[in-house]
Amino acid sequence: MILITIISSILVASVSIIQFQIESQEYHQERLERKEKQIKEHIVYILSKTPHPLITQNIPSIFQSRIFEISDIHNLVINVYDLDGLLLINSNAPNAKIEKAPIIPTYILENVKLSNENRFVTLAEKEGDKYRYSYSYLMDYVENKPIGILKLPYKEDDTFYKNELENFLSVFGLVYISMIIVSVFIAYYLSRFITKSLKTISDKLTETSLTEKNEKIELTSNSYEIDRLVKSYNKMIDELEESANKLAQSEREEAWREMAKQVAHEIKNPLTPMRLTVQSFQRKFDVNDPLVNQKLDDYSKTLIQQIDTMSAVASAFSNFASMPAQQNETLNVVDIVELTLDIFNEEFIQFESDSEEIITKIDKTQLIRIVNNLVKNAIQAISEEQENKQIIVTVKKESNNAIIKVKDNGKGILKEDFERIFEPKFTTKSSGMGLGLAIIKNIIENYNGTITFESQLGKGTTFKVTLPIIKQ
């Protein structure tokens, strides 16, 4: 509405200005024609009363005493030239010498001669004012032949039209400014009325989530289209909720299926050697064998070892399935990390720290588990055939965080495995269940911390653990 009002005001103003200019031009053209006609009628009257022959040479004598009178009556300067364009007499100085007066250009003489009305008008500007110069034949009314050329300079005075245009534009501007102001208010309230329902729908669409409960839109409008849109949204919410429930159920079932497969696979591994051991013992058992006690002892150790393996599998899944229980205590992170490294016999493990103590509240067991798991992974990432083995564990304080880094120069991680490295049961090793990184990530995030890594294939990997320092 505002744009249409502005465009219409510009168009109307432009058309009005053009119309005023056209009317001004027509007015000056018609006024010059009227004055020219009146002056010619006056000249014809004088020619009819003169005793001199009507020839070009007698024009100065005929009009010497009358040209000023004609100019004064019609309020125009009158110039009379001969047919070759030389000035014969001028109303400004009828008795002055005119030898040095300018002549009429040849192209004007030709246009006057060739014109049907024997008349030609030129436009020019002089000292900032616009002029019309009319050239026409002065005729011998008896023989109807030209005896001279009449030149009438007419000054275009646009003061009246300019004042009229300014007054019109002033009134026009006030009217349209008022219309624009009214349009702004009407457009504002009209748009608010129209878009109020749309804004409500837009807000609801923005708040729509796949993981949370979505509320339906309770809105009744006078628009059929808006009502249909609201009904469609509410229907979509019902379908979305139903789909979310089915998806959640499907994900739970899939998770249980995957968990069951993994547990079954890990338990089946020790059961096979246990079965073979029992069958072998049953087949070879002899009470009279002098080594029966030794064999029974070996048999028992084998079974106990496999049972421990199954117990470890159950414990690992139990730890992964449950949130780590926090039993926070105030301790020095530097000391705990250094103490954890003492259990490793590898000589290529180095420990570095830029401070002697970083005091925080954390579960000691869980911190040991984090360091232990990362160092074990680093050791396993280095092949036994590699000559220059190196693992560097650093601890430092940044801002209000304790930073633990474990860097190795092992084989590195493939780029396609970056996004899956913390996934449960994903592993790049030939042994293990792939739950270690998933468990410590769960522990770290439980302390509002983060774990990230950088790796280059063939050069090694660096894991970075950031734990917020919790003060007493």
- Name the percent of the chain lying above pLDDT 90: 8
Mean pLDDT within 11-39? 85
The model's pLDDT over 191-219, given as tens digits with 9 standing for 90+, comes to 777 777 777 777 777 777 666 677 777 76
If you ran DSSP here, which 8-state letter would residue 323 be given?
P
At 394, the pLDDT band (50, 70, 90 cuts) reads: very high
- Report d(CA 234, CA 240) in Å as an integer: 10
User: Widest CA span of the chain, in angstroms?
Assistant: 181
Strands 329-332, 145-155: pairing kind? unpaired
The most confident of 105-114, 183-192, 214-223, by mean pLDDT: 105-114
User: According to the model, what pLDDT value does residue 98 have?
Assistant: 55
Six-digit token string for 29: 């053209």
- Report d(CA 155, CA 125) in Å as an integer: 9
The model's pLDDT over 253-300, given as tens digits with 9 standing for 90+, comes to 776 676 666 666 556 656 666 676 677 767 777 777 777 777 777 777
Phi, psi of 90 (to 5 degrees): -135, 135
How confident is the prediction for the chain on average, in pLDDT?
80
Residues recorded for the chain: 472
The most confident of 169-173, 279-283, 344-348, 398-402, by mean pLDDT: 398-402
Per-residue pLDDT at 72 exceeds 70: yes
Match 């996934």 to its residue by tokens: 423
Mean pLDDT within 412-435? 71
Per-residue pLDDT at 426 exceeds 70: no
Mean pLDDT within 132-160? 85
Per-residue pLDDT at 432 exceeds 60: no
Inter-residue contact 280 to 254 (CB < 8 Å):
no
User: According to the model, what pLDDT value does residue 434 have?
Assistant: 60
Instruction: Tell me the domains of the chain and their CATH numbers.
Output: 2-162 (3.30.450.20), 208-322 (no CATH), 329-468 (3.30.565.10)
Lowest average pLDDT, out of 76-85, 238-247, 460-469, goes to 238-247
- Report d(CA 195, CA 37) in Å as an integer: 69
Lowest average pLDDT, out of 94-103, 227-236, 335-344, goes to 94-103
User: According to the model, what pLDDT value does residue 373 have?
Assistant: 85
User: According to the model, what pLDDT value does residue 313 have?
Assistant: 62
Inter-residue contact 400 to 453 (CB < 8 Å):
no
Six-digit token string for 122: 């030129």
User: According to the model, what pLDDT value does residue 2 have?
Assistant: 76
Instruction: Say what the pTM is.
Output: 0.39
Per-residue pLDDT at 364 exceeds 70: yes
Per-residue pLDDT at 161 exceeds 80: no
Higher pLDDT, 81 or 93: 81
At 94, the pLDDT band (50, 70, 90 cuts) reads: low
At 22, the pLDDT band (50, 70, 90 cuts) reads: confident
User: According to the model, what pLDDT value does residue 395 have?
Assistant: 94
Lowest average pLDDT, out of 202-216, 328-342, 362-376, 457-471, goes to 202-216
How big is the chain by its Cα radius of gyration, in Å?
Answer: 55
Mean pLDDT within 117-142? 85
Match 């250009």 to its residue by tokens: 105
If you ran DSSP here, which 8-state letter would residue 394 be given?
E
User: According to the model, what pLDDT value does residue 350 have?
Assistant: 92
